[in-house]
Amino acid sequence: MIKPKLFLDMDNVLVDTLSILNTADPTNFNVAKPDQIPGIFRSLPPVPDAISAVNQLAEHFDLYILSTAPWQNPSAWSDKILWLTQYFGAAEDSVFYKKVVMTHDKSLAKANGGILIDDRPYHGASGWDDAALGTAWVQYGFDAQLTWSSTLVQLLIDTANYYQAHDVTLRAALEAANASRFQLQGPVETFAKAHWE
């Protein structure tokens, strides 16, 4: 059977980014914002349990990275690839080998269906919440139980199993698996950005 598609954001979903960027001083590097510091995206730690979660989900989903990087920080684009190869390998059998999409409008990638796990609504993430296409956006951590260290992995596995057993869209499978237990995303209009964003 063909596995359903699951797209994962990197920052604050797989990579513990904000805890570092919120404390970094960009003036030490002569840049305007901490996300513009050269090399800052290369050595960030993984979000707790993210690596094991990806390995579990790879059994049930066709996984992709869907991320963006600061336009004013060219090293961020390559640093993200280097981070992925460090934690998931660079060989052809790596779960993310040639399955990385870097864009400033993530909604462009939803045309083939799937679910996006992203902690923030902007850069097109909230555009994945599209009933007409059958796509869905799950806001990582908005519901405190929807994290890798809690129930998110099981919800996604249940979604994949439901999708394989029924003739429905992946969005409908997610809704059935969720059964209104968790709030999948928060209101976009009141989302609070970090102070430097």
Active site residues: 9, 11
**Tokens 């998931």 appear where?**
88
* 108-111 contacts, C-beta under 8 A, 24 or more apart: 109/7, 109/64, 109/66, 110/135
Question: What sign does the dihedral 170-173-174-180 (CA atoms) show?
Answer: positive
Closest CA to 184 of 128, 140, 131, 126: 140
- Residue 149's identity, in one-letter code, is S
Distance CA 150, CA 164 (A): 24
Task: Note whether 66 and 109 are within 8 A (CB).
Answer: yes
Distance CA 101, CA 98 (A): 9
